[in-house]
Structures are given as structure tokens and as C-alpha cells.
């Protein structure tokens, strides 16, 4: 064997595929047990300086992006491609070959082969009709010593394993596209504020979104012990200053826009407050951010107000003291629970005032243009696995002999599920006998 043939055989071997897949599976366990992309101090404190240095050499903290792990994936891709190129032509020949080219002696030696007594009542067209009713693609041929009818179905099931090979390559392609054209980042947006940038999770570099995201509202509920129970953010997308869409997002209910997904991930409480004015119907009239112990003015209405005192448990404000004065009235001072409403006479018209602690919503932001390619790869994989494991290439032949017109030869074969094929073969034999009788 020449050197080039040895190299080709190495890369097309099943042994290489088993070794590569097994190594990828085993090393993936490392990425599960060792937390990824943590600061260097984390690995030193947890595993010791020598082990942490070893981790750095092998890129264990970023194992799935390490040179050796990517090399294993590349080797698997090469193996799948060369293996498919090497074996697919023979499979294609099995699918497309002329089924009437088989010799009668070979048909008699098949595992499923029986001679059935017949008469002139059963014609060639009758057998063709029987096969077509059972989903077979039928061809026929007259030979020197008789007449051969051949039927096959499920030939494409032989390609199932190669569809699986293709699906793995498509999934890898989707991952590559997502890695080089997508991003993962985060941002903190205080209530009433907006931003057009986020920050890359790895490099902390700013990424322009191409539109603005505004946090209109942040709501949080706490357990009695002070632990957060659930929280949500109301986000609005703005393009050229125009509101495009708004949505309340929670931990498992993100917002998507232009292929970018915003996930609720965290929050931060401020010592600032949000003061909202609503009319008698409950419709918001105006909203103001109010820094703690600083005066805020609403000049159009002649109002001056602010939060002059507050009580907090840890970083959570439980109640605050609101001071408010209009040009026509004396100042009003009232203690309110966080989010509690109060009614105020504003120049002869009652308004509802709500005061709450200001929060910033923490968002994880991701863009992955390759995700649809990955989904396509997964669909291909399911289709390939279904074809490979649940379908079979079934072929049957019916031969009428000129030398012995009183019998016909029925034979068949299947590349998988021989038990199932035996059942259908016996049903076909019974149908032929019924036609004869």
C-alpha cells in the first residue's frame, strides 16, 4: 500500500472516529467539572498554583475554545468527510443499480427465496400491481430464460448514516458562524434610562447594538426573609427615537430584536427613587427619577418634591418619607411603603403619586446568527438517525421461468430489520397465492 493510501485509510477509518468521539466525550467532562472562564485567582485558590499553571498551559479555563479541543473537532470533521467520500459511492450504487440485473441463481440463494406453484391465471401485470400496492418501485425485464419483476423501497435509508455525518458538520458550521459573527455581553440599565451599547463578556469592549434599549420599569418581590422571589423588567426598543416594541421580560422570557436576545439575569438597587404621577383614571402623567434627599422640580405644574428620608433592610428600601409642595399649598410630608400610592391635590385636581426605590436591571445579551444553522443540523441528525435505525432498504424479485411455467420464484432481501421484512415477505407470498387461487 502506498503512503498516500495509508494516509487516506487512516483518516477514513472507523477506529479514528471512535477514538476522536470518545476523546471529545471524555474531555468534555473536564469542562463540566472545572468551571470555565473564571479569573486566575479562582483556579489558584481552588486547585493550587501548580495545578492552575497546568490549567493555563492546556487552556482548561476556556477548554471549549482551546487549541487541542478545536483540533479534536477538526480531526472529527476530516474523518467524517473522508469516510463519507470513501464509502458513499458503493452505497449510491446499491441505491441506483438496476435491480433486474441480478442472475436467477443468485436470487435462489437469498435468505428469503421460495418457489410458488402458479398457473397462467397470474400475469406479470398482476405481480407488478401487488408490489406497487405495497409501496415498491417496480422495474421489469424479459430475459432469455424468463421474465423478471423487481421491486424496491426505502433505498434512501442507506444514506441515513451520511445524513448524520452531514448534520454534525452543519452543527459545527453553525457554531463557527456564531463564534465569529455573534457575541455575548451584558449591561446594567437603571429605570427610566436607555443605552445603545453593551459590553463584551470576555473583553469588556463596548458593542454598539444599532438601536436603543430603555428600562421603563423594574419590579421585584421578596420573601419574608428578604431574599428575592421573582423580578421582571419592562423594556422598550427605540430606533431613531421611535418606540418599536415593549415587553416585560423575566428570567425565562427574554426579549428578541434583530437577532439579539435580552435575558433577565440580575438587578441592582440604588439609593435613588422613582416618583410617578397618575391622573384619576390611573394613567401615568409624568415620571421623575429622584436622587435621595435632593429636590426635584416640575415647573409646568409648579411642584417641588423629593425623598427626604428612608428606611432600608440591607439594600432594600421598605419605606420612604416623601416631601411635596405646590405653589398654592403648604408642603405635605408623608411616610410611604415602597410602591405605595398617595393622593395629592394638584391645583384642584387629584393626582395619584407612587414612590418606589430605583433599580437597575441586569441583562445578558446574546447574538448568535449560527443558531438556525445548528437547528438545521439537529433536524438533519434526527432525520438521519430515523432513516438509519428505523427504515430499511427492501428488495423483492418475482421470476417467471419459460422452462417451468408452473412455478415462479419469489425472493427478497433487506439490509436491516430482517424480522420485519420476513413478515412482509410472507404477506406478499400469501397475496400471490390468493391471486393464483
Higher pLDDT, 435 or 59: 59
Q: Residue by residue, what is the 3-state secondary structure of 164-212?
A: HHHHHHHHHHHHHHHHHHCEEEEEEEECCCEEEEEEECCCCCEEEEEEE
CA distances from 247 to 159, 234, 264 (A): 45, 6, 12
Q: Half-sphere exposure of 348 toward its Cβ, with a 13 Å CA cutoff?
A: 0
- Is the pLDDT reported for residue 328 higher than 80? no
Domain boundaries, the chain: 3-85, 97-154+392-436, 183-367
Asked if 113 and 409 touch (Cβ cutoff 8 Å), the reply is: yes
Lowest-confidence pick of 81-85, 275-279, 282-286, 300-304: 282-286
**So what's the pLDDT on residue 432?**
86
**Domain 97-154+392-436: top CATH class:** alpha beta
Mean pLDDT, rounded, for 2-13: 81
Give me the sheet containing 296-298, strands edge to edge: 296-298, 303-313, 316-326, 332-337
- Is the pLDDT reported for residue 174 higher than 90? yes
- Is the pLDDT reported for residue 300 higher than 90? no
Measured N-to-C along each axis, helices 67-96 and 14-33 cross at an angle, to the nearest 10 degrees, of: 140
- Strand, helix or coil at 329? coil
pLDDT band at residue 1, thresholds of 50, 70 and 90? Answer: low
- Is the pLDDT reported for residue 404 higher than 70? no
- Is the pLDDT reported for residue 374 higher than 70? yes
**So what's the pLDDT on residue 405?**
67
Higher pLDDT, 25 or 38: 25
Each residue's pLDDT tens digit, 195-252: 999 999 888 899 999 999 999 999 988 887 778 888 899 999 999 989 999 999 998 8
* Top-confidence range, 74-83, 222-231, 323-332: 74-83
**So what's the pLDDT on residue 421?**
93
In the beta sheet, which residues pair with residue 321? 309, 335
In the beta sheet, which residues pair with residue 290? 273
- Is the pLDDT reported for residue 2 higher than 90? no
- Burial label for 332, CB within 10 Å (0-12, 13-18, 19+), is middle
The Cα–Cα gap between 393 and 115 comes to: 23
- Is the pLDDT reported for residue 120 higher than 80? no
Q: What is the mean pLDDT of the chain?
A: 89
- Is the pLDDT reported for residue 127 higher than 90? no
How many other C-beta atoms can be found within 10 angstroms of the C-beta atom of residue 196? 13
**So what's the pLDDT on residue 279?**
83
Amino acid at each position: 500500500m502506498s503512503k498516500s493510501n495509508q494516509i487516506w485509510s487512516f483518516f477514513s477509518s472507523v477506529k479514528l472516529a471512535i477514538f476522536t468521539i470518545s476523546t471529545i466525550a471524555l474531555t468534555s467532562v473536564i469542562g463540566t467539572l472545572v468551571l470555565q472562564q473564571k479569573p486566575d485567582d479562582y483556579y489558584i485558590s481552588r486547585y493550587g498554583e501548580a495545578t492552575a499553571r497546568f490549567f493555563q498551559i492546556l487552556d482548561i479555563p476556556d477548554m471549549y475554545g482551546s487549541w487541542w479541543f478545536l483540533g479534536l473537532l477538526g480531526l472529527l470533521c476530516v474523518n467524517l468527510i473522508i469516510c463519507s467520500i470513501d464509502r458513499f459511492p458503493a452505497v449510491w450504487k446499491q441505491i441506483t443499480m438496476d435491480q433486474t440485473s441480478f442472475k436467477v441463481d443468485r436470487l435462489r440463494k437469498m435468505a428469503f427465496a421460495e418457489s410458488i406453484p402458479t398457473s397462467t391465471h397470474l400475469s406479470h401485470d398482476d405481480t407488478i400491481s401487488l408490489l406497487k400496492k405495497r409501496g415498491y418501485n417496480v422495474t421489469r425485464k424479459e430475459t432469455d430464460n424468463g421474465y423478471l419483476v423487481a421491486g424496491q423501497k426505502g433505498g434512501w435509508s442507506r444514506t441515513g448514516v451520511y445524513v448524520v455525518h452531514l448534520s454534525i458538520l452543519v452543527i459545527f458550521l453553525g457554531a463557527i458562524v456564531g463564534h465569529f459573527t455573534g457575541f455575548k455581553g451584558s449591561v446594567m440599565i437603571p429605570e427610566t434610562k436607555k443605552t445603545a451599547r453593551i459590553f463584551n463578556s470576555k473583553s469588556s469592549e463596548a458593542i454598539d447594538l444599532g438601536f436603543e434599549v430603555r428600562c421603563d420599569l423594574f419590579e421585584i418581590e421578596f420573601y419574608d426573609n428578604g431574599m428575592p422571589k421573582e423580578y421582571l423588567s419592562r423594556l422598550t426598543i427605540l430606533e431613531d427615537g421611535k418606540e418599536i416594541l415593549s415587553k416585560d421580560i423575566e428570567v425565562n422570557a427574554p426579549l428578541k430584536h434583530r437577532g439579539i436576545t435580552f435575558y433577565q439575569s440580575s438587578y441592582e438597587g440604588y439609593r435613588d427613587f422613582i416618583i410617578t404621577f397618575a391622573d384619576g383614571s390611573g394613567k401615568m402623567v409624568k415620571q421623575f427619577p429622584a436622587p435621595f434627599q435632593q429636590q426635584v422640580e416640575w415647573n409646568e405644574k409648579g411642584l417641588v418634591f423629593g425623598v427626604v428620608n428612608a428606611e432600608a433592610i440591607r439594600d432594600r428600601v421598605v419605606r420612604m418619607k416623601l416631601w411635596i409642595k405646590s405653589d398654592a399649598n403648604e408642603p405635605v410630608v408623608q411616610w410611604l411603603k415602597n410602591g405605595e400610592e398617595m393622593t395629592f391635590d394638584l391645583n384642584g385636581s387629584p393626582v395619584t403619586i407612587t414612590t418606589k426605590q430605583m433599580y437597575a436591571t441586569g441583562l445578558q445579551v446574546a447574538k448568535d446568527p449560527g443558531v438556525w444553522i445548528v437547528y438545521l443540523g439537529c433536524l438533519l441528525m434526527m432525520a438521519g438517525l430515523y432513516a438509519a435505525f428505523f427504515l430499511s432498504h427492501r428488495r423483492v424479485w418475482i421470476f417467471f421461468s419459460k422452462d417451468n411455467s408452473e412455478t415462479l420464484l419469489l425472493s427478497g432481501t433487506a439490509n436491516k430489520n430482517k424480522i420485519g421484512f420476513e413478515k412482509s415477505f410472507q404477506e406478499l407470498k400469501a397475496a400471490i397465492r390468493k391471486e393464483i387461487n
